[in-house]
């Protein structure tokens, strides 16, 4: 079992509603990632920006994005994660894909669609969380607005790393910073947030703040600029902290209702 995982936070601007241009853009971005990175993380809706017009993208783009992610993960020998518009069974989803270097694909549909922007009117909400085993680490990936809901994010599966991909705008970035840190502390896990930067077609500004917080809430990586941020997380450190500070043993039991 690996005790160290090297991750790359790919913080970037996005081309509005143009999947082909974004896939080509991120292929170039991934060329800048170190060869020894185990996991590269892209923003939410990395092929389109936070669009409320998924029908403009074309149903075939879902498969094209999956194929692109598989090819990138396999050819670069690293896992790749990010969310995009996904069309399936006559429904649209904001779907996160986690692709391992062997081509295995796991998925998670965003549970908390962003009602303020009308996302709930266009995208079907997910009903379950996916915890993925990768190189000895248990990883739970979630999407943007999920960050505001601590019950949904609660560490009941024994994950080591909690990942959020996002399009989180500048006017509310203080909440993003505070909640990432809080999710790390309360779940005694690494919390990784990858946000976009730039300005979208609606005029919303994004200033990144992609970051990694350790299980005690200490920030070990952070950026407000376009580019790649690389850092390592330690399974041994998670074990040591949880052994010394046994806070998770006192957590409340609960059942979610849908």
The residues that are catalytic are 44, 110, 144
Would the CA dihedral through 7, 8, 11, 16 be positive or negative?
negative
252 burial level (CB within 10 Å; 0-12, 13-18, 19+): exposed
Residue with tokens 């998924």: 54
Q: At what angle do helices 61-76 and 19-30 cross, to 10 degrees?
A: 10
CA distances from 23 to 71, 85, 205 (A): 11, 13, 22
On whether the CB atoms of residues 66 and 81 are closer than 8 A, the answer is no
- In degrees, rounded to 5, the angle at the alpha carbon of residue 154 between the alpha carbons of residues 101 and 237 is 60
């Amino acid at each position: 079992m690996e005790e160290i995982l090297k991750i790359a936070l790919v913080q970037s601007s996005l081309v509005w509603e143009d999947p082909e241009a974004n896939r080509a853009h991120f292929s170039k971005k991934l060329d800048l990632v170190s060869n020894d990175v185990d996991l590269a993380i892209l923003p939410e809706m990395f092929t389109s920006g936070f669009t409320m017009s998924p029908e403009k993208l074309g149903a075939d783009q879902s498969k094209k994005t999956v194929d692109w992610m598989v090819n990138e993960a396999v050819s670069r020998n690293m896992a790749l994660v990010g969310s995009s518009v996904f069309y399936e069974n006559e429904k649209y989803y904001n779907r996160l894909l986690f692709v391992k270097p062997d081509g295995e694909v796991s998925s998670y549909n965003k549970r908390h669609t962003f009602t303020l922007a009308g996302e709930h009117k266009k995208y079907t909400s997910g009903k379950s969380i996916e915890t993925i085993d990768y190189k000895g680490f248990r990883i739970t990936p979630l999407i943007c607005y999920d960050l505001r809901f601590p019950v949904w994010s609660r560490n009941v599966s024994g994950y080591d790393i909690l990942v959020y991909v996002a399009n989180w705008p500048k006017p509310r970035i203080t909440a993003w910073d505070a909640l990432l840190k809080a999710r790390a502390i309360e779940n005694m896990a690494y919390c990784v947030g990858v946000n976009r930067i730039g300005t979208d077609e609606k005029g919303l500004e994004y200033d990144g703040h992609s970051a990694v917080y350790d299980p005690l809430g200490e920030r070990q990586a952070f950026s407000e600029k376009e580019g790649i941020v690389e850092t390592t997380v330690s399974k041994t450190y998670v074990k040591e902290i949880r052994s010394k500070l046994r806070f998770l043993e006192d957590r409340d039991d609960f059942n979610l209702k849908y």
